[in-house]
């Protein structure tokens, strides 16, 4: 057996690791990645005082990543609002509570659906692009070039992206909330027979200021998180084009997992 293994390794055939070894490696890598992401988050917070000197880069990033996401975000919000109204409206109509569609849509969108939907879209659209951009810079020595010029990559690259995405996620969430609720109101009017005025009155009656604040806090945290995770994965990139692809995939998966966990924690903090 040992002789066979030696022959295989001499022939350049790497033995396939067992499930325990693979799980172990994955755990070590995940812990390492989480540690580096937290380290980058701490470094970004420590550099916050330099944000005013990075206003130009931050505004560029807000436009590049945020403004260009408005269209796709709005389409998603409109149809999500419609789907929510359809699903809840049909059940409510059977229960004779059709008018509640206004309150359900408004609370669901402002508290949960708006921020999480925006975060998922931005993870896919912006987070992946950020990782690929920074990962490519890493393998083409541009990050090293910044360092040798005495330019801190955290200040120059990470800080503007984190600030821009945190702010733009809040703005995009507000747009999503509004468009999503309009979508619900349209379905309510044309399919469930709930008048706009009834929809509006119900929404205003049940929607609390706390719901809106909770949603916007989530949006801010999600935006910052997506940017930090994406930049961190980009900065860890090795092994050329394949490494960029791998980092991008890890960034998207890690961001989505972090988002869902933090969503639970923020919801708990606000409502329990």
Partner 1 sequence: MIRLENVTKRLLGKLVLDEMSLHVRRSETYVILGPSGVGKSVTLKLIIGLMKPDSGRILIKGNDIAGMNRRRLFEFRRMFGFLFQSGALINWLNVFDNVALPLREERKMAEDQIHDAVLRRLQLVDLEGTEEMMPDQLSGGMKKRVAIARAIITNPEIILYDEPRTGLDPIVGETINQLILRLQEKLNATSVVVTHDLHSAFKVGNRIGLLEKGKIIAEGTPDELRRSNEPAVRKFIDVTAVKP
**Which stretches of the chain bind partner 1, using CB under 8 A?**
53, 136-137, 140-142, 144-152, 156
Report yes or no: 128 and 230 within 8 Å, Cβ to Cβ: yes
Question: Minimum Å distance from CB 92 to partner 1?
Answer: 51
User: Sign of dihedral through CA atoms 263, 80, 212, 205?
Assistant: negative
CB-wise, 248 or 255, nearer to partner 1? 248
CB-wise, 92 or 134, nearer to partner 1? 134
CB-wise, 59 or 146, nearer to partner 1? 146
Question: Minimum Å distance from CB 126 to partner 1?
Answer: 16
CB-wise, 149 or 272, nearer to partner 1? 149
Question: Minimum Å distance from CB 123 to partner 1?
Answer: 22
Tell me which residue has tokens 């992946």.
128
Residues 6+ apart with CB under 8 A from 121: 69, 72, 73, 76
Q: What is the number of other CB atoms lying within 10 angstroms of the CB of residue 242?
A: 10
In sequence order, which ranges of the chain are alpha helices (DSSP H)?
2-10, 19-46, 55-61, 70-95, 101-108, 114-122, 128-139, 142-148, 153, 159-190, 196-206, 209-235, 240-271
Query: Which tokens in the block code for residue 149?
Result: 């010029």
Question: Minimum Å distance from CB 33 to partner 1?
Answer: 19
CB-wise, 18 or 150, nearer to partner 1? 150
Environment class of 201 (CB within 10 Å of its CB; exposed 0-12, middle 13-18, buried 19+): middle
């Amino acid at each position: 057996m040992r002789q066979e293994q030696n022959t295989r390794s001499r022939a350049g055939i790497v033995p396939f690791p067992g499930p325990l070894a693979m799980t172990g490696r994955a755990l070590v890598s995940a812990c390492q990645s989480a540690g580096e992401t937290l380290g980058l988050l701490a470094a970004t917070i420590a550099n916050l005082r330099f944000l005013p000197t990075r206003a130009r880069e931050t505004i560029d990033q807000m436009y590049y990543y945020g403004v260009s996401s408005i269209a796709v975000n709005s389409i998603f919000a409109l149809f999500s609002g419609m789907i929510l109204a359809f699903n809840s409206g049909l059940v409510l109509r059977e229960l004779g509570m059709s008018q509640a569609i206004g309150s359900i849509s408004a609370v669901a969108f402002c508290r949960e659906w708006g921020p999480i939907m925006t975060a998922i879209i931005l993870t896919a659209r912006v987070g992946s692009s950020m990782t690929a951009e920074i990962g490519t810079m890493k393998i083409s020595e541009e990050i090293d070039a910044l360092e040798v010029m005495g330019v801190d990559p955290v200040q120059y690259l990470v800080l503007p992206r984190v600030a821009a995405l945190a702010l733009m996620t809040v703005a995009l969430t507000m747009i999503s909330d509004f468009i999503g609720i309009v979508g619900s109101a349209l379905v309510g009017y044309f399919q469930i027979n709930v008048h706009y005025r009834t929809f509006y009155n119900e929404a205003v009656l049940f929607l609390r200021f706390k719901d809106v604040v909770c949603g916007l806090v989530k949006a801010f945290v999600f935006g910052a998180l997506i940017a930090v995770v994406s930049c961190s994965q980009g900065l860890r990139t090795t092994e050329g084009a394949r490494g960029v692809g791998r980092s991008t995939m890890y960034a998207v998966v890690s961001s989505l997992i972090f988002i869902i966990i933090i969503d639970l924690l923020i919801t708990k903090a606000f409502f329990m």
